[in-house]
Chain A
Amino acid sequence: MTELPLYDPRKRLRRLLNVDRDIGLLFAIGGGCLLGTFVLFLLNSTLAVVPLAGFLAATGYGWYTHQAETARALTFLATASTIFILGLITVYVFVEALPVLQRMGVRLFGFTEPVEIFGVTLIPGVDSFWSTSQHTYSLIPMIWGTFVTTLIATAIAAPLGIAAALFLAEIAPPFVRETVKPGVEILAGIPSIVYGYLGFVVLNTFLYENLEMANLGSLFLVGLVIGLMALPTVVSVADDALTSVPDAMRDGAVAMGLTEWQTMKSITLPAALSGVSAAVLLGIGRAVGETMAATVILGHSQVLPDPLQDVFDNTETLTSLIASQYGNANGLHMNALFTAGVVLFITVLILSIAARRIELRMDHKLGGGQ
């Protein structure tokens, strides 16, 4: 019974903000103005500046009279805005995608042949995967393209990156580590369009000539470039995970007579496994969302490669679809591009939540071990 008032949302909010009665009014005005600004902005009215000025005035007044409370309220607003912005992105991307989602339904993931299991049609077939004249939009070729490039990128970045992190964290002498680690972090900053330019100008022709390919641009090259791009990030994050393993665990193993390499294999790597896999998941998230390299390198054809495993063929990825077609898209076509955004958004959100979960588990495990 005594616990109940704590869950009263109004009391809780008041406790959170530590609001006195006299400045409650001020907050009400400020909050009301901010809400008004947002609503008017949503309605696309230039009058939004009026409540915005009101909000600024209320804030300014509050800052001079009740600085501590105003600061607290403002920081709370900033914190709440993270949830708000994520919500806004979700709503707007979904709403724009809705017309095509309704039109296509499950055929958004349709193949040219209907998908049947035991004679029950699960997904009806589509005439063509991507046709702007008939307004048929199936994302299957793009999903396949994203899947293949991500797979290739991960196959490159994960093992090589983890091995390099192992070298930095466990093997390299301190002075090498202290010079190389910042270097790797700087290399992680090379913008993707620079990789894209390199891929477009140099690597595309290089592979075309030396692998005698049928066309410029291939999923293979995109995967290769993204993998190279993700390498420094994976190295850096996996290195952090490895160095966060308490020294006591290593010392115990060495005291038992294990060599350093055996310690790494059987103690350090398993202990850091969660952190290392979080690093890999983050890298995968980056690879899925990587836009420019794919856009610049690929030849943009919205069909599945024939045969399917031909990674040297041109296809499309979800990201490059958006970046290459937004320019001449309108109406349903534009909505269709937003469906690609929805698929990307959900995939990466799931990856990010999974990575976060794994990270928390690692903190918990190692924290408990100390």
Chain B
Amino acid sequence: MSYTTETELVVDNTSTAERLASAVVGLGLVTFTFSLVSLARVITEETTILGIGLYDFLAVGLLLMGVGTVTLGVGSRVGVFNTSPDVTPGLVTAALFGIGAFAIAGFVASQLLGLGTLGWLLLAALVGGATFAGVALAPEDLGSTLPPGVAAIGVAGLVLGGILTPAFAWEPEGFSATLTGSMAIPLVLSVTTLVTMWAGAKAYEGYGSKGRQTAAYLLVGINAVSIIAVLVALLLFIASKGIGPAFQGFSIVPLEWPFVTNGYSFRPEIVNGVFPAIMGTIWLVIGAVITGVPVAVAAAIFLTEYAEQGRFVGAVEIATNGLWSTPSVVYGLFGYAFLIPRLGGTTSLISGMLVLGFMLMPLCLITSREAIKAVPDEYRDASAALGVSRWETIRSVVLPAAMPGILTGVILGVGRIAGETAPILLVMAGGLRDDAPDVLGSFEFISSPPFVANEALLESAPALPYQLYATITAGVSAENAAEFGWATAFILLVVVLSFYAIGIASRIYFRRRLNA
């Protein structure tokens, strides 16, 4: 009986602190999200929320957080809340808070109080040093809550008091940019919010190593979520801009999709499309796969099945990594110097194919080698035990088993080269066109060497990524150039990302099957 009462008391005690701390963190999440969105100027100072201006609204949130955090810290010290703080927050925390205090004090002194260089430096150093010493010597509950709480209240005061307004402007010396209020306020708000949330999360667990873990997890989690949110927002933004123009005139019955099936005709009454560029990209990919993949797979077979670790294999590994990391523009230069003079003297589709093939080769080599390595040795041993020769084993046991992995590597590699612009910029070029390259129909036999000729291969051809670049540099027919560009970007994204999605999905599928 007494046991339950005691627990109830404890539960009651902690839950007040816990509730307050989760309120601080929750309020922080809202304030942080709004600050980030207003940093992108999706919502501005003219937006009103619950009848008050955006910045005032956020500042009120921050003010409440600050008060809550200070309450949590002081409450823990005087024993209202049941916590288990360490002796000190640690030197790292102290140093970070010291630097933060230095920055805030320096900023306030130089920009808002208008002190000279010596004055603000002195004041900032004083405040920063005092904060550092204070935090380092204070017990953990006070040391990790008071500075963020005070900073939060202070920043909120600056915004609410009309000292830090959208009209604020700070032109740092030696930079040709001005930090305006509309950028500075969301920035300062989001940073302060993050630090205050960190303190709140720490208080939630009653400080100590458990508190530090929760606080760290909170920040790391917010970071991960923000990164993904920003990247996904970027994709959605491109889709929202591109879907409209890309589906202009689209109908299912009869099946019509002018943007994908039309060329660029420079005629206003016809929807301009990217059909030639899509065909060009397809031909580039086919050419690159034909030149790059067989060599890559053969080399992977030699490295895993025949060669022994030695100087030759070491050199090949260095060469492969070198090729893998060589910047695409250097491949372009190489193609410009080596291939173009020997393949007709002008930028051409076949040069583009070969250069992309050279780029694809190391990508596929590395993944194919991994795939062949992953085939269990039992397969080879069983085959050898049946008296099958080494090459027969490779051909009918190892390669089929490794094929899914090799294919995955090829798909991912193709996704990568399909979006490359820099190399084809130098060796293929090819602007906006009405007609697609007709590679198959242009083969003809001639009487002089090389006996086979193909006009289409020796001409420039358009390709999706290059077309996007051309849209930027040429500023096509000014009026709807931007729309055309967004639609091209959208189609390019769909093409490239579906290669990636298929490749990654098949990798996950085959890995699961291999492990099962």
Interface residues of A (CB under 8 A from B): 16, 41-42, 44, 46-50, 67-68, 71-72, 74-83, 85-86, 88-89, 92-93, 95-96, 160-161, 163-164, 166-168, 171-172, 180, 182-194, 196-198, 200-202, 206-207, 210-215, 218, 220, 228, 231-232, 235, 259-262, 282, 285, 288-292, 295-296, 307, 309-313, 319, 322-323, 326, 337-338, 341, 344-345, 348-349, 351-353, 355-356
Contact = CB atoms under 8 A, between A and B. Distances in A.
Q: Which range contains the number of B residues in contact with the other chain? A: 35 or more
B3 interface: no
A206 B39 CA distance: 11
A92 B331 CA distance: 11
B440 interface: no
B497 A310 contact: no
B391 A68 contact: yes
Interface of B: 41, 169, 174-180, 182-183, 209-210, 212-213, 216-217, 219-221, 223-224, 227-228, 230-232, 234-235, 237-238, 294-299, 301-303, 305-307, 315-334, 336-338, 341-342, 358, 361-362, 365, 389-392, 394-395, 412, 415-416, 418-422, 425-426, 448-452, 465, 468-469, 471-472, 482, 485-486, 489, 492-493, 496-497, 499-501, 504-505, 508
B505 A201 contact: no
A188 B325 CA distance: 16
A261 B212 contact: yes
Nearest to A165: B224
Contacts, number: 305
Contacts of B224: 163-164, 167-168, 172, 180
Contacts of A220: 177
A81 B472 contact: no
Contacts of B180: 210-212
Given A171-B217, A338-B333, A345-B330, A79 B302 contact: yes
B176 A166 contact: no
A68 B227 contact: no
Q: Identify which of A50, A76, A292, A295 gathers the most chain B CB atoms within 10 Å of its CB.
A: A292
Nearest to B230: A228
B422 A292 contact: yes
A194 B505 contact: no
Nearest to B333: A341
27 contacts: A41-B342, A46-B449, A77-B298, A78-B296, A78-B298, A78-B302, A79-B302, A82-B316, A82-B323, A93-B330, A96-B337, A164-B223, A193-B489, A193-B492, A198-B234, A210-B182, A212-B169, A215-B176, A220-B177, A228-B234, A261-B212, A282-B325, A289-B326, A289-B328, A310-B175, A338-B337, A344-B329
B421 A232 contact: no
Contacts of B504: 182, 185-186
Contact of B419 (A47, A49, A189, A288): A189
